[in-house]
Structure 1
Amino acid sequence: MSVPLGTGVGWRPEIAEDIERLPDIDWVEVVAENVCPGHLPAPLERLLERGTTVIPHGVSLGLGGADRPDLARLIALAERAEALGAPLVSEHIAFVRAGGPLTGAPRVEAGHLLPVPRTRDGLAVLCENVRIAQQVLPVPLALENVAALLNWPDEELTEAQFLGELVERTGVRLLVDVANLHTNHVNRGEDPAEVLDGLPLEAIAYVHVAGGVERGGVWHDTHAHPVGPPVLDVLAELCARTAPPGVLLERDDDFPAADELAAELDAIRAVAKGTVRA
């Protein structure tokens, strides 16, 4: 069962004071690796005291990798969920490292969320890693579709088929990033509407919205630009199919003034409520 969240924003120290003053913010999401239980930033503590829901969003588990999830990383994510009183946690459908003793090569950290090959073998590995994570985490897990520049060769499943089978086999929730759907439309030729048509919409935990920019025919998912009409159009497509439990604005750089941030949230809220068509 989905947890009703409402409209939220990614909590970042650079805009912490602005977030506190924003009207109608129902919840925030924090990068799990950037907070420490017992030593939470004062602005985040104040949001918790006000009853604002805070969800930890992990970036380092690498559940799509060949290795089994690192227990220490899982425990750390579980501790943050408990410290924040979070109703769920989220991560990515990605791998972030490779190599190691079993490969005869040094372990390499990519420093980036790399897409999982949409093959039967890739899906099987991901599903097993998700099951392991679910056994350790104290709350439900939601996984995010990622942005990519290209397709892996010999892929056997579409994005919707891959995500649908993942949900069916593990019961995991979905964090649908509509900006990433648009990124993959530009960079990989995937139709966002077709992906949305094939998703198990009842599994959606919440939605990410973020800005980017197109350069030389490539969409860069920067999280440093305003959310533009193409991304809002994908959000509208999703909201025409279902009412998502929560929608969240991500911004990681080149932070706007407080009034601009509020205006972006108003635009997202309006699309999510169906009061305007992007």
Structure 2
Amino acid sequence: AESLPRRGAAPEPLRALAQRGVAVVPHGVKLSLGGAEPGAPERGSHLARCAELVGAPPVSEHIAYVRAGGLEAGHLLPVPRTRDAVDAIVANVARTQAELPVPLALEPIAALFEWPDAELSEADFLTEILDRTGALLLLDVANVYANARNRGEDPYELIDRLPLDRIAYVHVAGGAEHDGLYHDTHTDPTPAPVLELLAALCERRTPPAVMLERDGHFPAATALTAELDAIAAAAGLAAVT
């Protein structure tokens, strides 16, 4: 969302997609909803403007923080799973929702580290935030896989404990292992375990939509459409091509 203009019309390619009936969902990365400090009001108002520019059904942001004490991390950082953190997130989400003309979906991130002394499991942490805010869930299956792999946990257990009826849509993406940690790169093909996890999710509940995140190292069109078809097959949807 932050790449969209603060003034004037939406970029022509986005307008063309919206005119064709394709849902365009602004996806924020800088609201810092997980921060202890309230976010700048203009960030929420910009996300609201983005929604209006493209006729978005919802907008989305991450359960993460990107700044603290005046410093910008330049990256989505995980939030401690504590009750104080839940309270801060709920307050930040409420302020953002007050600016928005459409629902807000929250995405749990792929975290490369965890804070100690967690008071809540990830499922309980997310569920309490969703319950107290009324927000929707943007479930990134690739993030679920990445976190479970790096923590030595079972990703299917988390899927079974999440409020799947709150899903706005689903992300899938590729990643790669570096120095013993799996990174959610968005520049690699979607691996088989993520497709298998997507299939398991869709067996439990069919999400409204599934989106591939690909930010770079784009393959040839034939390879990309084959990946989209594999995602559709895993989700039990018709082939894209």
Judge same fold: TM > 0.5, yes or no.
yes
Structure 2 residue 37 is the aligned partner of structure 1 residue 74: no
How far apart, in 2, do the equivalents of 1:108 and 1:144 lie? 23
Higher strand share goes to which structure? Answer: 1
- Residues 199 and 236 of structure 2 are in contact (CA less than 8 Å); yes or no, is this contact kept in structure 1? no
Identity of aligned residues (%): 59
Structure 1 counterpart of 2:199, from 228, 236, 259: 236
Q: Which aligned segments of 4 or more residues in structure 1 are displaced greater than 2 angstroms?
A: 37-45
- Residues 140 and 173 of structure 1 are in contact (CA less than 8 Å); yes or no, is this contact kept in structure 2? yes
- Residues 140 and 170 of structure 2 are in contact (CA less than 8 Å); yes or no, is this contact kept in structure 1? yes
SS state at 2:24 partner: strand
Structure 2 residue 224 is the aligned partner of structure 1 residue 254: no
SS state at 2:31 partner: coil
- Structure 2 unpaired stretches of 5+: none
- Structure 1 unpaired stretches of 5+: 1-31, 100-106
Which stretch has the larger CA shift, 254-263 or 174-183?
254-263
How far apart, in 2, do the equivalents of 1:44 and 1:138 lie? 19
Structure 2 residue 177 is the aligned partner of structure 1 residue 214: yes
Structure 2 counterpart of 1:198, from 161, 166, 175: 161
Q: Which residue matches 1:84?
A: 54
How far apart, in 2, do the equivalents of 1:40 and 1:168 lie? 33
TM-score, structure 1 normalization? 0.82
Q: Which residue matches 2:86?
A: 123
Question: What letter corresponds to residue 226 of structure 2 in structure 1?
Answer: A
Structure 2 residue 152 is the aligned partner of structure 1 residue 189: yes
How far apart, in 1, do the equivalents of 2:172 and 2:25 lie? 16
Structure 2 residue 113 is the aligned partner of structure 1 residue 150: yes
Q: Which residue matches 2:23?
A: 53
How far apart, in 2, do the equivalents of 1:251 and 1:145 lie? 18
The alignment covers a number of residue pairs equal to 237
How far apart, in 1, do the equivalents of 2:35 and 2:118 lie? 16
- Residues 186 and 217 of structure 1 are in contact (CA less than 8 Å); yes or no, is this contact kept in structure 2? no
Q: CA-atom RMSD, angstroms?
A: 1.3
How far apart, in 1, do the equivalents of 2:51 and 2:85 lie? 28
TM-score, structure 2 normalization? 0.94
SS state at 2:26 partner: strand
- Residues 97 and 108 of structure 1 are in contact (CA less than 8 Å); yes or no, is this contact kept in structure 2? yes
Offset of residue 220 of structure 1? 1.1
Structure 2 counterpart of 1:268, from 219, 225, 231: 231
Q: Which residue matches 1:35?
A: 4
How far apart, in 1, do the equivalents of 2:180 and 2:195 lie? 19
Offset of residue 53 of structure 1? 1.5
Structure 2 residue 97 is the aligned partner of structure 1 residue 134: yes
How far apart, in 2, do the equivalents of 1:63 and 1:190 lie? 26
Offset of residue 216 of structure 1? 3.6
Question: What letter corresponds to residue 38 of structure 2 in structure 1?
Answer: R
- Residues 236 and 274 of structure 1 are in contact (CA less than 8 Å); yes or no, is this contact kept in structure 2? no
Alignment deviations for residues 120-157 of structure 1 (CA, whole Å, 9 cap, x no partner)? 11111111111111111110000001011122110011
How far apart, in 1, do the equivalents of 2:12 and 2:168 lie? 27
Q: 1:53 to 1:63 in 2, by over 3 A?
A: same
SS state at 1:60 partner: coil
How far apart, in 1, do the equivalents of 2:200 and 2:113 lie? 24
Question: What letter corresponds to residue 186 of structure 1 in structure 2?
Answer: R
SS state at 2:207 partner: coil
- Residues 10 and 54 of structure 2 are in contact (CA less than 8 Å); yes or no, is this contact kept in structure 1? no
- Residues 149 and 188 of structure 1 are in contact (CA less than 8 Å); yes or no, is this contact kept in structure 2? no
How far apart, in 1, do the equivalents of 2:137 and 2:98 lie? 18
- Residues 14 and 54 of structure 2 are in contact (CA less than 8 Å); yes or no, is this contact kept in structure 1? no
- Residues 224 and 254 of structure 1 are in contact (CA less than 8 Å); yes or no, is this contact kept in structure 2? yes
Offset of residue 274 of structure 1? 6.9
Q: RCO (CA 8 Å, sep 6+): is it higher in 1 or 2? A: 1
